[in-house]
Structure 1
Amino acid sequence: MSDWDAGLEDDEAGAVMRTVARQLKLWREAAGMTQAEFGSAIGYGEELVSSVERGRRIPRPEYLDAADQVLGAEGKIAAMKGDVAEARYPKKVRDLKKLEAEAVELCAYNNSVIHGLLQTEEYARAIFNARRPAFAEEEVEQQVTARLARQEILGPVTGRRVFSFVQCESTLRRPIGGKMVMRQQLERVLEVAQLRNVDLQVLPLDREENSGTDGSFRLLKLNDGTTIAFSEAPLSSRVMTSPKETTVLDIRYGVIRAQALSPRESLAFIEKVLGETQT
């Protein structure tokens, strides 16, 4: 969060921030402090405290930490930092993050860029900086932060969740952000590819058959047997829940995996491309 403005784009985020603002006000009043006294105690002005409590400004993490300490909340106020951070992400990112957290299997084919769950911060920032019309600086930072937050599901605590990625060779060779950024990105892909619950494959450009030329897509398979598909396109991503449509993409993904190199061959291929960036 690079600013304090509560330019929240949907009712769900607004409801979260109103709840946070209400809790901050109740804690302050219970402590018998005026807004001016409270602001002085935590190092902020009375006007800012008032704006936060009215839901016009978003409290930064350091604001919540200071409030927790001054009001003796013993971590109850600081615990809201996660909710505040989530509310600042775009709604479509929050929705996708929730679905990814519920999925038992995630499958993704990408033919334009490295998949978001595999991206380094520098690579992600280069992608968002390249968008036209251009994002404002604060929008770029918001998008990068949101994308990195989604990567939490790749941690060791999610060992029962299965990931399958197929990357077109073009995504490994397109020097987004420059040679150094791309080198670090390839190293990151190799690191993730060696996790026990991740299968990563490369679809080489010299394949005569490529069933992924229609574009990137992903499949999220939920615990109840439901499959949700995302077909990506400029300006929007189409969400599909109908079995008639998700089955088509599920079959297509299986064919693409068969056309790609095996996970072991793919690791060697990526190492080869990485070596080429160092010459």
Structure 2
Amino acid sequence: MRDEERNGRTPEGRRPDDEKNNGVVTAFGRQLKLMRTRAGLERPEFGKLVGYAPQSIASFEQGRRIPPPRFIEQADEVLNAGGVLVALKEEVGRAQYPAFFRDMAKLEAEAVSLHVYAALAVPGLLQTEAYARAVFTTRRPLLDGDTVEQRIAARLARQKIFSRKPMPTLSFVIEESVLRRPVGGRATWRDQLEQLLSHGRLRNVELQVMPNERAEHCGLAGPFTLVETGDGRRMSYVEIQQTSRLYTDRPAVRESEEQYGILRAQALTPSESLAFVEGLLGET
């Protein structure tokens, strides 16, 4: 829980972190201001109706902060916008993600299956808030405080996939070295291992560990994610060093699918993997 929530104050939203995102958020802010002034409401009066401080309203209208979905829905209702503001909610919401991940975030939210190979860090979908914070605060070049909070909120929001209905099929192959690295300190590391156990026991999730001792390993080219959407599209997403590529052509995707199948065969089974994580917890 964020400090604003603990203190009974509504969070003001998050700062967009690139020009394209800023354009989307700025356009929303201009539309919001136009509708507010047409309704004859000053910021303090409007803020009381939607539960936000005048300073927050100003930040939204000026495109300096990303308004949360709840605010957009409330503003649309209070201003009798007829769904005009709500229609922008998805695009505004995508502004919280880094530019290189934005398309993937949309596909992920629609996926019927996701298969993730992780070689560098615990996959974002499985990260605790403390682990995610450690990842973002230690990144170089340094991210400013607003961007860190924005990235954490966006990462945690993605985890709604675990409670989505119908349930998607999710699988993860994670390198042993990733699980042994105490990112954020030992307490954060232990909590992260416990969360991996919790998620790994879900009926629609399979978690596998790739042992360090494996002499044969077909994933040395790096991490990737396989995505399948409800309309049958299959894609392979590769991300490294703040850049990404989404492969949609069938030959390239088939290569990744073959690679992932072999990785799963080389890794510990799901039951062996959960036992392995339990063993790591015993060492902490």
Q: Tell me which interval the TM-score lies in, with the shorter structure as reference length.
A: 0.7 to 0.9
Equivalence map 1:1-279=2 (5 Å): 9-10=19-20, 14-15=23-24, 17-19=26-28, 21-30=30-39, 32-34=40-42, 44=54, 52-53=60-61, 55-58=62-65, 60=67, 64=71, 68=75, 71=78, 83=90, 84-159=92-167, 161-277=168-284
On the 8 A contact 2:131/2:192 being kept in 1, the answer is yes
Letter in 2 for 1:134: L
Letter in 2 for 1:26: M
On the 8 A contact 2:13/2:66 being kept in 1, the answer is no
- 1:121/1:158 Cα in 2 relative to 1: closer, same or farther (>3 Å)? farther
Identical columns (%): 39
1:230-274 deviation per Cα after TM superposition (whole angstroms, max 9, x unaligned): 123223122211111111111010000001111111110110011
Gaps of 5+ in 1: none
TM-score when normalising by structure 1 = 0.81
Q: How far apart are the structure 2 equivalents of 1:167 and 1:99? A: 22
* Cα displacement (A) at 1:97: 1.8
1:75-101 deviation per Cα after TM superposition (whole angstroms, max 9, x unaligned): 979968965544333344432221012
Calculate the aligned-residue CA RMSD, in Å.
3.5
On the 8 A contact 2:44/2:53 being kept in 1, the answer is no
Secondary structure at the residue paired with 2:19? coil
- 1:81/1:174 Cα in 2 relative to 1: closer, same or farther (>3 Å)? farther
Secondary structure at the residue paired with 1:184? helix
On the 8 A contact 1:128/1:140 being kept in 2, the answer is yes
* Cα displacement (A) at 1:211: 1.2
